[in-house]
Amino acid sequence: MSEIQLAGRVAVVTGAGQGMGRAIAQRLAAGGAKVAALDLNFEQAQESVAGCADPSVCMAYACNVSDSNAVNETFAAVESTLGPVSILVNNAGIGRAPGDGSDQMYELMGKRNEEMANGEEPKTHVDHIVFMEDEGWRDVMGVNLDGAFYCTRAAVRSMVNADIKGSIISISSTAAQSGEGPVHYVTSKAAIVGLTRALARELGSRGIRINAVAPGPTNTPIMNGIPEQWIKDMEAAIPLGRMAEPNEIADAVSWLASDASSMCTGSVLVANGGSYFF
């Protein structure tokens, strides 16, 4: 791909301590951006910054994106240290939380798979919602959706104050379209598409663009704990035959962050190897 030029732009990346967020932070830095790497895990965010093209113009911040005050304080710190925000990547996300019934769901799914593997008519139902407590639902929505809202609002305030035609990218998921996955996660990722479309209309007159990237299965630590056989089955169902690597998602994000995508707003860029078509 042609070189992405982001020289001097301030880019905030959430969940930048590992996985896709780390790859995105480092990709934007390679394009010349001054990156603010936000994560719950400060040490890992620091490691991400250390791997940036010019770590001296990037900063790590400890920030829980589901905490509105913490987000506002962090953006104020970013503005005073690095300058007004031109790029935001809402990447922080979780797929499970305590009290969300994931353990029961995995157990039931294992049983059902076993029944099918034995050639039996499956009797076990995987009704995950039955085991999902309010707390588990709220935590996932709090990070994936509220977090994206709080960060987007803070970034737009910064862009409006400094009259910047910025670019905001949020990480949705193929699950938003396919419906495959736990209900809190799928709902939050579908809501990201709504946030993107509503704000594309609202902010277009200012030249602020907002897009989403919808990855399919991607080789990051979020995949840890998923049984190996399920991963194999998942990959077998992908036309390109494999999961994405974090760098491949980072390339899609950096294109949307740059002027190379200047006519794109409100779009969902699908990067899933053909596993689902939007």
Ligand X SMILES: NC(=O)c1ccc[n+]([C@@H]2O[C@H](COP(=O)([O-])OP(=O)(O)OC[C@H]3O[C@@H](n4cnc5c(N)ncnc54)[C@H](O)[C@@H]3O)[C@@H](O)[C@H]2O)c1
Rounded Cα distance, 147 and 23, in Å: 20
Does residue number 15 form part of the binding site for ligand X (CB under 6 A)? yes
* String of contacts with ligand X for each residue 217-246, x by CB under 6 A: xx-xxxx-----------------------
79 CB-near residues (< 8 Å, 6+ apart): 85, 158
Neighbours of 163 (CB within 10 A): 9
Based on the shown chain and the rule CB under 6 A, indicate whether residue 151 belongs to the binding site for ligand X: no
* From candidates 10, 13, 19, 35, binder to ligand X by CB under 6 A: 19
Residue 196 engages ligand X in binding (rule: CB under 6 A)? no
> At residue 201, what is the residue type?
R
Residue 12 structure tokens = 């905030």
Closer Cβ to ligand X, 61 or 261, answer by number: 61
Among the listed residues 18, 152, 167, 261, the single contact to ligand X using CB under 6 A: 18
Q: Which long-range contacts (CB under 8 A, 24 or more apart) does 184-190 make?
A: 184/97, 184/100, 184/132, 184/136, 184/137, 184/140, 184/141, 185/95, 185/96, 185/140, 185/144, 187/141, 188/93, 188/140, 188/141, 188/144, 188/145, 189/93, 189/144, 189/214
168 lies in the site for ligand X, by CB under 6 A: no
Binding of ligand X at residue 39 (CB under 6 A)?
A: yes
Q: Which of 31, 33, 52, 64 binds ligand X (CB under 6 A)?
A: 64
Q: Given the rule CB under 6 A, which of 52-60, 91-99, 158-166, 195-203 is the region that contacts ligand X?
A: 91-99
Quote the least distance from Cβ 112 to ligand X, whole Å: 22
| Active-site annotation, residues | 185
User: C-beta of 11: minimal distance to ligand X in Å?
Assistant: 16
Closer to ligand X by CB, 64 or 265: give it: 64
Interface residue list for ligand X (CB under 6 A): 14-15, 17-21, 38-41, 44, 63-66, 91-94, 143, 147, 171, 173, 215, 217-218, 220-223
